[in-house]
Amino acid sequence: MSDLKTAFAAIVGESNVITGDFAAYANDWRKKYFGKPLLVVKPGTVEEVAALVKLCAETKTPIVPQAGNTGLVGGGVPDESGTEVIISVARMTKVLEVDTINNTMTVEAGCILQTLQETAAEHDRLFPLSLAAEGSCRIGGNISTNAGGVQVLRYGNTRELVMGLEVVLPSGEIWNGLRGLRKDNTGYDLKHLFIGAEGTLGIITKAVLKLFPAPRSTQTVFIGLESPQKAMDLLGFMKGALGDRITAFELISDFGLSLVTKYFPQLKAPLPPAFPWFVLSDIADSRDAAALTADVEAALGEAIEQGIILDCAIAKNETEGNRMWELRENMTESQVHEGRSIKHDVSIPISKIADFIKAADAALEKAYPGVRPITFGHVGDGNLHYNVAHPLASFTEPNWTKELDRVNLIVHDATAQFNGSISAEHGIGQLKREEIKRYKSALELQVMKNIKAAIDPQNIMNPGKVI
Ligand code: FAD
Ligand code: 2HG
Ligand code: ZN
């Protein structure tokens, strides 16, 4: 260990090798995984990353790549063996180029997502990836998890926002794929292998990201409805009335909202809690705000008349809109205060979301009377966060966690029944590594293993994650 430490220090400088107080790196955001790394190393350049990886390859030292450490599936956390080295890209925070004609931005992997949104805005452009962890997650982590968030409906997942990558391979070689090309049919598109690979195939060090014109106006609305089916009817209706101007369409259950207002009493719901379901939506336009608001008011007025929605609050300005979004952004944290729920991040064909909720609710209630599903998520793109809180009468948080496998089986079997996926956006990491074996075909898993073995024959890059 001290040999390795000395060799690492020779590459990155002694102050960038952490040997104690690993808490910020070794534990995940939810405090579900507590790893024991050998060391944490913080390189400042791609050459330093490459030299570190080369040394790890020579000594067969396992590596855990890490960015902002906000992942929800334990992918960026080491195991408890004390043999794994965390390579953190947190010092690599340069924006190298903003090209407003190519509409791209070339950045280092440690850039914080919010900084990149702000950089794009300074150039009158939009970088649309947006999630509640945006103040601390980093673009290398976003790319490695193929993060989703609240604007996928209009702009796509991270995969659709990445045009080029630079990656340090498990051999220590640097692959420069930093191309800002919208067309490039020159064989296998390697960047897609690394996007969503959760650090199992290499360390992403730079990326070329896609930018969009900045919208001139955004209208936020908070809507009360009778049922998830009505929410999906509303989505169809709004698409007809407002077209692809809908950038976000989030479903929130009354129980989910009540947890936020319970633990964040300073946040006020814009509609009375009497409604069983809510939709929070953003509609953005390149025209001025008055024209957009008039279209949104007309559409929602019609939706009330047709009996699709019960009521709605239309934000009068950006501050009011932001307050509505604060309710949504604190949903994950409010669940931590209530006692950790059992999380599911499922993807269902959009037209089947309401049927899935009915089926999963019924199956869970049968197994666990009084169970409390916290149902919310990005239903505009078919992604539900179907988190399950313990029934108050029969369970406490610690003994609820022991029900993980049974609860997963119920929810994920319901997901499979509707041809869904057990991970829409958070990834597999450690949390779902065993679970995917039940839902992916043996052939698909074997092809994944073959790819892993071809790129990382020594299995040193984030071993034990994903497959
Ligand atoms: P980390 O947690 O550091 O790492 C994530 C994975 O990527 C790990 O497997 C790690 O090994 C790998 N990795 C990290 N950096 C690199 C690199 N440079 N090269 C190769 N591999 C690397 N996720 C969503 O998709 N949508 C949401 O709406 C969303 N909301 C969230 C809200 C909250 C409050 C929280 C806490 C999390 C949320 N997440 C969400 C999950 C998380 O923020 C995302 O997965 C995010 O993309 C992780 O980025 P990170 O920088 O924190 O990555
Ligand atoms: C979100 O959409 C995140 O807020 C986290 O993906 C969801 O708490 C969760 O399970
Ligand atoms: Zn989400």
Give the pLDDT of residue 1. Answer: 59
Distances in Å between the Cα of 324 and the Cα atoms of 172, 246, 408, 428 are: 46, 16, 31, 31
The Cα–Cα gap between 379 and 23 comes to 35
Ligand 2 and 314: CB distance under 6 A: no
Cα(310) to ligand 1 centroid in Å equals 36
CATH number of 217-332: 3.30.70.2190
Element (H, E) at 309: none
Which residue minimizes the CA distance to atom 33 of ligand 1?
133
* Separation of first and last alpha carbons in the chain: 28
Q: Which of 66, 111, 333 to mutate to test the pocket of ligand 1 (most atoms within 8 A of CB)?
A: 66
CB atoms within 10 A of CB 293: 18
pLDDT at 136: 98
Do 217-332 and 339-424 have matching folds? yes
User: Which residues form ligand 1's pocket by a CB distance below 6 Å?
Assistant: 29, 64-72, 75-76, 89, 109, 131-133, 137-138, 140-142, 144-145, 147-149, 198-199, 203-204, 332, 425-426, 429, 462, 465
> Do the beta carbons of residue 228 and residue 357 sit within 8 Å?
yes
Torsion sign, CA atoms 297, 303, 304, 305: positive
**CA–CA separation, 271 vs 257, rounded Å?**
11
CA atoms within 13 A on the CB side of 394: 9
Could you say which of 3.40.50.20, 3.20.20.450, 3.30.70.2860, 3.30.465.10 is the CATH number of the domain covering 95-213? Answer: 3.30.465.10
CA distance 399 to 396: 6
For ligand 1, what atom is nearest to the CA of residue 204? 19
Could you give phi then psi for residue 237, rounded to 5 degrees?
-65, -45
pLDDT at site 273: 84
Which position has the token pair 């989030």?
250
Determine if ligand 2 sits within 6 Å of the CB of residue 219: no
| Domain regions of the chain by residue span | 2-88, 95-213, 217-332, 339-424
Amino acid at 381: D
In this structure, are residues 139 and 115 in contact, taking their beta carbons and an 8 Å threshold?
no
CB atoms within 10 A of CB 406: 13
CA distance 216 to 285: 6
Contacts (Cβ under 8 Å, ≥6 apart) of 439:
412, 415, 416, 421, 422
In sequence order, the 6+-apart residues with CB closer than 8 A to the CB of 406 are 367
Answer yes or no: are the C-beta atoms of 207 and 300 closer than 8 Å: no
C-beta of residue 145 within 8 angstroms of C-beta of residue 431: no
Output the residue whose Cα is nearest ligand 2's atom 5. Answer: 332
Record the pTM.
0.98
The domain made up of 2-88 has a fold known as 3.30.43
Q: Is 344 a pocket residue for ligand 2 (Cβ < 6 Å)?
A: no
Structure tokens at 358: 């009915």
Instruction: Confirm or reject: Cβ of 343 under 6 Å from ligand 2.
Output: yes
Domain 339-424, CATH class in plain words = alpha beta
pLDDT digit string (tens) for the chain, length 467 residues:
579 999 999 999 999 999 989 999 999 999 999 999 999 999 999 999 999 999 999 999 999 999 999 999 999 999 999 999 999 999 999 999 999 999 999 999 999 999 999 999 999 999 999 999 999 999 999 999 999 999 999 999 999 999 999 999 999 999 999 999 999 999 999 999 999 999 999 999 999 999 999 999 999 999 999 999 999 999 999 999 999 999 999 999 999 999 999 999 999 999 988 899 999 999 999 999 999 999 999 999 999 999 999 999 999 999 999 999 999 999 999 999 998 899 999 999 999 999 999 999 999 999 999 999 999 999 999 999 999 999 998 888 889 999 999 999 999 999 999 999 999 999 999 999 999 999 999 999 999 999 999 999 999 999 999 99
CB 231, CB 379: distance < 8 Å: yes
Is residue 126 within 8 A of residue 120, CB to CB? The reply is yes
Q: Which ligand is nearest to the CA of 132?
A: 1
**Is residue 192 a contact partner of residue 144, using CB atoms and an 8 Å limit?**
no
Of 332, 346, 391, 401, the residue nearest 365 (C-alpha): 391
3-state secondary structure of 464: coil
Closest to 44 in 3D by CA, of 93, 99, 77, 2: 93
Question: What is the spatial distance between Cα 328 and Cα 347, in angstroms, rounded to a whole number?
Answer: 19
**402 to 385, 388, 398: CA distances (angstroms):** 20, 13, 7
Supply the angle between the helices 254-263 and 318-329 in degrees, to the nearest 10: 100
Nearest residue to 88 (alpha-carbon basis) of 48, 120, 115, 57 = 48
The amino acid at 352: K
Whether 164 and 210 have beta carbons less than 8 Å apart is answered as: no
Number of other residues whose CB lies within 10 A of the CB of residue 316:
11
Residue 5 is encoded by which pair of tokens? 């430490």
